[in-house]
Structure 1
Amino acid sequence: MTNTSDTKANEAEGRRSFLPAFINLRDAGTLFGLALILIVFAVLNPVFMTAPNVLNILQQSSINACIALGMTFVIISGGIDLSVGPAAAISAVAGAALMTAGVPLPVALLGAMGTGMLCGLFNGCLIAFAGLQPFIVTLGGLSLYRALALIFTGGNPIFGIPTEFRAFINGDLLGVPVPVVIVGLIALLLWIVLNRTPFGEYILAVGGNQEAARIAGVPVARTRITVYVMSGGLAAVAALILMGRLGAADPTMGNLWELDAIAAAAIGGASLMGGKGSVVGTLLGAVILGSLRNGLTLMNVQAFYQLLATGIIIIVAMLIDRATRGRA
């Protein structure tokens, strides 16, 4: 006689078999939501689905997607990173200072990324070794890194970004904007890490039950530190993309980036309780936010209504997550 739970498991596996290997049922639901938004705005405004505007949406979404991918790994591990915006600002300032000082461009880029990773390392060490709560540590980091960026620059932007760097960031590869290509390659690498490596299993285990993971031999402290270093590094990449587009490094850069990143991860299925998240879902979540803002802008909707729509989407995503966890 067939067990009822086995039957349900087989049915679930059957439903998953219709989906590509890189996407799950939750991601499919997010994709459906994106398709619905695209259809609605395409009907309301014919310009919305034109090729130039679609590329514009992807390019605008690339910065948030980059930040949100790092945030997703932090959230899966059971943490949160509120300092990604200021970490991006101080990374941009460091990179721009090196560029304008005549340092070779590759070294300057490594310096910017290293700065972001150091911010993440500082956060991770306080959380893993001092036992402080991620919310408190990264909230302190939010003020600390912003203050350091403002103090270093005197509150003024740094101009003089090399022309070759700006040309690269504002260029395209086979018609696809370079920032979109960069984020796509990063997402592919992170998908492999999360789904095909032991480290990905460690992150899920730590987020699911930290004590059980420790008993099972998972290097909990090292795992938690690493995800924060990744978050800081990806914040630096996002900062470099924006710096290349603007031609300057502003110490006030990255204001509220952490909220957009959390929103994209949550919309994509990452649970703020930890233990669950998806690279594909986060990318879709970032594109949903970008599409929503772009469509509302084309319709001349005021900015505070865009914030209202974003807030509603986040709350709905959280309710969906709570409902799916309840059924599980």
Structure 2
Amino acid sequence: MSKRAYNFNPGPAALPLEVLQKAQETFVDYNGIGMSLTEISHRSKEYEALNRETQELMLELLGLSSGYQVLFLGGGASMQFSMIPLNFLKPGKVGSYLVTGSFSEKAYQDAKIVGEAVIAASNKETSWRSLPKAGDIRIDPNSAYVHMTTNNTIEGSQWSDIPETGNIPLIGDMTSGILSRPIDAHKFAMIYAGAQKNLGPAGVTVAVIRDDLLQEEPKHVPVMLRYTTHAKNQSLYNTPPVHSIYVVNLMLKWVKENGGVEAMEKQNVAKTKLLYDVIDASGGFYTGNIAPDSRSIMNVTFRLPSEELEKAFVKESEKNNFVGLAGHRSVGGIRASAYNAVPYEACAALAEFMVDFQKRNG
């Protein structure tokens, strides 16, 4: 087997080798049934058991024992930007948004198409550098919900404290941070995440929704866009992406077998500290995009003194077996996405490369 790349892709992202190998072993013949998971019926007892087990594992790792349903949906996290207001933003109510990066801004813009949406707090004027403090958040008491993105993938920021919203349901886009650190999931009425960063491959989105949000079926919304449709049918209303959900199942088991979410956080903090320490000790050669109190343990973003040096950095990194370090096309710079499955050794190698690159180009 050829040497595996140091995969810092922002998503689709790194998966653990043992998960990939297990998926490979069972690809042609799943549990001795003579068929691949890509061939079997989603109505079969084998898939129904897998579906149920994956939902249970998700709740367990989030620390939720009851009162929530786990849905497997299509369309990526971006589809939820529309589905959330379609399902929950009733006439006469407003959707309140914490706009702290590109994806939360997209969610806000989609909500404005559906109904009335307002910004409860934003750090856009400071180039997303530092997340709003609790005192900066102004939640309209007439809000149907409050929406936040807990980790900003493009910008490289992460909420350390979850805002208090009282009786107003809190909805969290956790696509690039889910299961990377312990959170009090009970604070959220809904959590959602595209799988392709911390949960598995692209093709499925996980939504965890509190039961009270599913009591009323929105008749004005097309059937496939109703959360109630998928909840009533255990995510089997239409054909789900069976193999993608299987890999999510393997990923959840991997997290559990490797110490759970607490162990993930410990490893993630140690990994990204290697990179932040190089940035902070570089004398300005590397400049972090985000204030230290808002830094993400998933996406490390920084700049070099010039775009020419940034292009040289990426080009050299690729020759040294690093993949995915170019910043998002909308902002440029450098981004290292160190999700749960990115090993400590990859971050140590990148830190060493960064120090060497500065010595030769500083």
**TM-score scaled by length of structure 1:** 0.29
Query: Scaled by the length of structure 2, what TM-score is found?
Result: 0.27
Identify the structure with the greater helix proportion: 1
Quick one: higher RCO (CA 8 Å, sep 6+), 1 or 2? 1
